[in-house]
């Protein structure tokens, strides 16, 4: 039965975790414990590791971890199928972020299956459509220039703190209709929520975010404006206003989905650019190809995953999965599938066009994908005008942390 987002209840699905909770239908020869987002090999070079999985693991295997056991789908066509069949691979209960069971809410729209999910997307999709985000281009450019003014003359910066984080946060605050003086606080909360090494810091960040977003929703309810928070607060699909929990779950999920993903993608891309000056020259020499260039960079440096749960038994490539099993579409690996993208680790701006999986596909394809593409494109164009030659600062140690969004923590640069 479909969940009722206006009256959320904590799910009571069982979640298998660890070697002693492997369901009996899982064949032992498909069981692995590879530390997909935590292991030493992953942390040493996450994208090379994901690309290598096609040579070291079967296309579908059952990964066992203290964080949760799940089938891992590595192949591009298997992921396309799973993501396009929500009646088999459901999103209900598939999102890992914990919540207070006594004040439960759903993350909207990610935890809602079609067809109900459409009513939420319809509220904000027009703002995030290619046409909708085009209107933001000049504003994003001004934000990028403003940030560059602060450090382009310095000859060095730590990319993440100077540009990679503040740019998407400024843009996010503009879109949401929230004040720019919250920029550094939002960065801090997002980093603590998604990267803190301990659960206390995460819980504190979540409490601060909750308190702030609830008061912002109350303020926009009383004083409507053009921003996304106001649009969600005043939405009444089919004439029925959204409940408080729906409004909060929607606004809160935008915060989780729209910040760290962009930081991480930009960090990955700028690190690669800093290590490949000849490719930077190529990008500068091909201004008319910037959209294809950004798309290829997004393929190679995709940062996150799609988790689903089996709503019914299903056999894929001869592997029998059962209702209640969890799966992960390992999107960064799917984007390196040699059958979909020949010579997958080569970054080739002239690749034939094909669906990349950085933003997933199907009903839950990323609502912010056009915005993210635009932020990266404009961020890159403005950066290269001011800083066309740059390198990683000698001696800098590039470190990755375990987690579901893959990117270097810091990228110290010089020029
Ligand atoms: C490079 C940056 C980004 C990447 C790589 C990314 C990636 C993704 C992926 C993979 C999903 C699907 C998750 C799943 O299948 O479980 C997703 C969903 C989503 N993303 Fe993004 N995202 C990015 C930026 C953004 C931004 C800027 C926003 C909004 C401001 C945003 C809002 C959303 C929303 C609302 C969903 C859920 C869509 C739905 O359930 O219908 N994302 N994103």
Q: Which residue's CA is minimally distant from atom 41 of ligand 1?
A: 364
Whether 10 maps to a domain, the answer reads no
Predicted local distance difference test score (pLDDT) of residue 195: 78
Q: For residues 12 and 262, which has the higher predicted lDDT (pLDDT)?
A: 262
Whether 290 maps to a domain, the answer reads yes
Instruction: Please report, to the nearest 10 degrees, the dihedral formed by the alpha carbons of residues 9, 6, 247, 200 taken in order.
Output: -10
Element (H, E) at 81: helix 76-83
Q: Is the pLDDT of residue 96 over 70?
A: no
Average pLDDT over residues 147-163: 97
Sign of the dihedral defined by the CA atoms of residues 71, 77, 81, 84, in that order = positive
DSSP structure class, residue 350:
T
Whether 176 maps to a domain, the answer reads yes
Q: Which residue's CA is minimally distant from atom 23 of ligand 1?
A: 261
Spacing, Cα 364 to ligand 1 middle (Å): 8
Whether 8 maps to a domain, the answer reads no
Predicted local distance difference test score (pLDDT) of residue 1: 56
Spacing, Cα 38 to ligand 1 middle (Å): 22
Predicted local distance difference test score (pLDDT) of residue 103: 85
CB atoms inside a 10 Å sphere around CB 2: 12
How do residues 251-300 score in pLDDT, each as one tens digit? Answer: 999 988 988 899 999 999 999 999 999 999 999 999 999 999 999 999 99
Q: Is the pLDDT of residue 155 over 70?
A: yes
Whether 244 maps to a domain, the answer reads yes
Indicate which CATH number applies to the domain containing 48: 1.10.630.10
Of 90, 125, 305, 366, the one to substitute when testing ligand 1's pocket (max ligand atoms within 8 A of C-beta) is: 366
Predicted local distance difference test score (pLDDT) of residue 197: 76
Q: Which residue's CA is minimally distant from atom 39 of ligand 1?
A: 364
The pTM assigned to this predicted structure is 0.96
pLDDT grade, residue 328 (50/70/90)? very high
Ligand 1 atom closest to Cα of residue 308: 16
Spacing, Cα 415 to ligand 1 middle (Å): 33
Whether 241 maps to a domain, the answer reads yes
Ligand 1 atom closest to Cα of residue 94: 16
Predicted local distance difference test score (pLDDT) of residue 2: 65
How do residues 336-390 score in pLDDT, each as one tens digit? Answer: 999 999 999 999 999 999 999 999 999 999 999 999 999 999 999 999 999 999 9
pLDDT grade, residue 102 (50/70/90)? confident
Whether 406 maps to a domain, the answer reads yes
Token match 């649009």: residue?
Answer: 231
Spacing, Cα 258 to ligand 1 middle (Å): 7
Q: Which residue's CA is minimally distant from atom 4 of ligand 1?
A: 261
Element (H, E) at 328: strand 326-329
Q: Percent of the chain at pLDDT above 70?
A: 99
Of 167, 168, 174, 257, the one to substitute when testing ligand 1's pocket (max ligand atoms within 8 A of C-beta) is: 257
Spacing, Cα 43 to ligand 1 middle (Å): 23
Predicted local distance difference test score (pLDDT) of residue 100: 80
Q: Structural domain tally of the chain?
A: 1
Q: For residues 92 and 170, which has the higher predicted lDDT (pLDDT)?
A: 170
Query: What mean pLDDT, rounded, does the chain reach?
Result: 94
Pocket of ligand 1 (CB under 6 A): 109-110, 117, 121, 172, 253-254, 257-258, 261-262, 265, 303-304, 306-307, 331, 358-360, 364, 366-368, 371-372
Average pLDDT over residues 394-410: 92
How do residues 37-75 score in pLDDT, each as one tens digit? Answer: 889 999 999 999 999 999 999 999 999 998 889 999 999
Q: Which residue's CA is minimally distant from atom 18 of ligand 1?
A: 366
What are 385's two structure tokens?
């005008």
* Cβ–Cβ under 8 Å, residues 154 and 386: no
Q: Percent of the chain at pLDDT above 90?
A: 82
Q: Which residue's CA is minimally distant from atom 36 of ligand 1?
A: 366
How do residues 209-241 score in pLDDT, each as one tens digit? Answer: 999 999 999 999 999 999 999 999 999 999 999
Q: Is the pLDDT of residue 322 over 60?
A: yes
Q: Which residue's CA is minimally distant from atom 32 of ligand 1?
A: 368
How do residues 116-132 score in pLDDT, each as one tens digit? Answer: 999 999 999 999 999 99
Q: Which residue's CA is minimally distant from atom 9 of ligand 1?
A: 359
Q: Give the range of the structural domain holding residue 138, as residue numbers without chain letter.
A: 22-414
Predicted local distance difference test score (pLDDT) of residue 194: 79
Whether 118 maps to a domain, the answer reads yes
* Cβ–Cβ under 8 Å, residues 171 and 147: no
């Amino acid at each position: 039965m479909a969940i009722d987002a206006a009256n959320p209840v904590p799910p009571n699905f069982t979640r298998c975790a660890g070697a002693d909770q492997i369901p009996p239908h899982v064949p032992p020869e498909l069981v692995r414990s590879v530390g997909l987002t935590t292991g030493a090999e992953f942390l040493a070079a996450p994208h090379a590791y994901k690309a290598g999985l096609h040579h070291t693991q079967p296309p579908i295997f059952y990964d066992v971890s203290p964080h949760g056991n799940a089938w891992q789908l590595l192949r591009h066509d298997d992921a396309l199928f799973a993501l396009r069949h929500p009646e088999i691979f459901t999103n209900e209960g598939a999102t890992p972020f914990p919540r207070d069971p006594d004040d439960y809410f759903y993350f909207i729209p990610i935890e809602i299956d079609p067809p109900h999910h459409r009513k939420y997307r319809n509220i904000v999709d027009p703002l995030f459509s290619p046409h909708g985000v085009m209107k933001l281009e000049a504003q994003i450019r001004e934000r990028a220039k403003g940030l560059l003014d602060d450090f382009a003359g310095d000859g060095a910066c730590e990319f993440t703190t100077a540009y990679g984080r503040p740019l998407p946060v400024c843009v996010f605050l503009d879109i949401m209709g929230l004040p720019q003086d919250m920029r550094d606080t939002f960065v801090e909360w997002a980093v603590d929520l998604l990267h803190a090494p301990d659960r206390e810091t995460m819980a504190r960040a979540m409490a601060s975010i909750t308190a702030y977003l609830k008061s912002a929703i109350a303020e926009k309810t009383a004083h409507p404006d053009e921003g996304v928070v106001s649009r969600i607060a005043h939405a009444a699909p089919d004439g029925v206003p959204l409940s408080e929990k729906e409004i909060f779950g929607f606004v809160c999920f935008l915060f989780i989905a729209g910040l760290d993903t962009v930081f991480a993608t930009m960090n990955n891309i700028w690190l690669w650019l800093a290590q490949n000056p000849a490719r930077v020259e190529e990008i500068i020499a091909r201004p008319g190809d910037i959209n294809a260039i950004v798309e290829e960079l997004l393929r190679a440096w995709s940062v996150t995953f799609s988790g689903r749960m089996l709503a019914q038994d299903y056999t894929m490539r001869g592997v029998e999965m059962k209702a209640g099993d969890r799966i992960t579409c390992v999107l960064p690996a799917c984007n390196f599938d040699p059958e979909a993208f020949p010579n997958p680790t080569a970054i080739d701006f002239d690749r034939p066009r094909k669906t990349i999986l950085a933003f997933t596909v199907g009903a839950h394809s990323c609502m912010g994908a056009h915005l993210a593409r635009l932020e990266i494109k404009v961020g890159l164009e403005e950066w290269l005008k001011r800083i066309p030659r740059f390198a990683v600062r000698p001696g800098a140690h590039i470190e990755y942390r375990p987690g579901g969004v893959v990117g270097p923590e810091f990228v110290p640069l010089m020029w």
